[in-house]
């Protein structure tokens, strides 16, 4: 999730958020400790959370306290290829949040990928906002680089939940 977190940080925190009256953005994920001063945590409810923040004054010391104004992205992942229960549990977390955009990341499957999309459809239909599902290479395949006869990992496949069906983006 570190690459996802870094990507979102580049797109939100470093893209001028906080200028022109926009509230600044914070990106939370397990390997990022930039938010510990204000929120006392790295990860905030989801594997990656992107949110705008505002400030208020504390009651006693009159210090500045940040709070979440709006959630832009919730990202959850489950890369286990053999336990559909864990996948359903993690994707179900997306139903709980109020983010404008929700992304679930799963490992590519050589078999049953269509069945997996059907399972995830039942959950996506209960989410508010824009819902995306990305299939990525399993971590076991990340070190393969195509040299020495190895086959490089398959690129990501990204789907968006539109009008009750998964639509592959970029297809």
pLDDT of residue 7: 87
pLDDT of residue 148: 57
pLDDT of residue 167: 96
DSSP label of 145: -
Going residue by residue through the chain, which has 171 residues, state the pLDDT in tens, using 9 for 90 and above: 788 888 888 888 765 555 555 568 899 999 988 888 888 888 889 999 999 999 899 998 888 888 999 999 999 999 887 888 999 999 999 999 999 999 999 998 777 888 999 999 999 999 999 999 999 987 777 665 555 555 556 778 999 999 999 999 986
Pairwise CA distance, residues 12 & 25, whole Å: 6
Domain housing 80? 2-168
Please list, in sequence order, all residues whose beta carbon lies within 8 angstroms of the beta carbon of residue 121, skipping any fewer than 6 positions away: 161, 164, 165, 166
**φ/ψ bin of 146: left (φ > 0), alpha (ψ from -120 to 50), beta (otherwise):** left
pLDDT of residue 112: 81
pLDDT of residue 143: 65
Total structural domains within the chain: 1
């Amino acid at each position: 999730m570190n690459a996802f977190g870094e990507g979102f940080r580049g797109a939100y925190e470093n893209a001028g958020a906080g200028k022109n009256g926009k509230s600044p953005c914070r990106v939370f994920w397990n390997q990022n400790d930039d938010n510990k001063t204000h929120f006392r945590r790295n990860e905030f409810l989801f594997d990656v959370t992107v949110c705008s923040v505002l400030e208020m004054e504390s009651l006693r010391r009159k210090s500045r306290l940040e709070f979440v104004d709006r959630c832009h992205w919730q990202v959850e992942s489950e890369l286990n290829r053999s336990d559909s229960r864990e996948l359903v549990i993690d994707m179900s977390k997306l139903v709980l949040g109020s983010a404008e955009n929700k992304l679930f990341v799963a490992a590519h499957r050589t078999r049953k990928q269509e069945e997996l999309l059907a399972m995830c459809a039942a959950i996506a239909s209960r989410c508010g906002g824009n819902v995306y599902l990305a299939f990525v290479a399993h971590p076991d395949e990340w070190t393969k680089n195509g040299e020495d006869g190895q086959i490089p990992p398959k690129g990501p496949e990204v789907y968006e939940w539109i009008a009750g069906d998964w639509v592959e983006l970029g297809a």
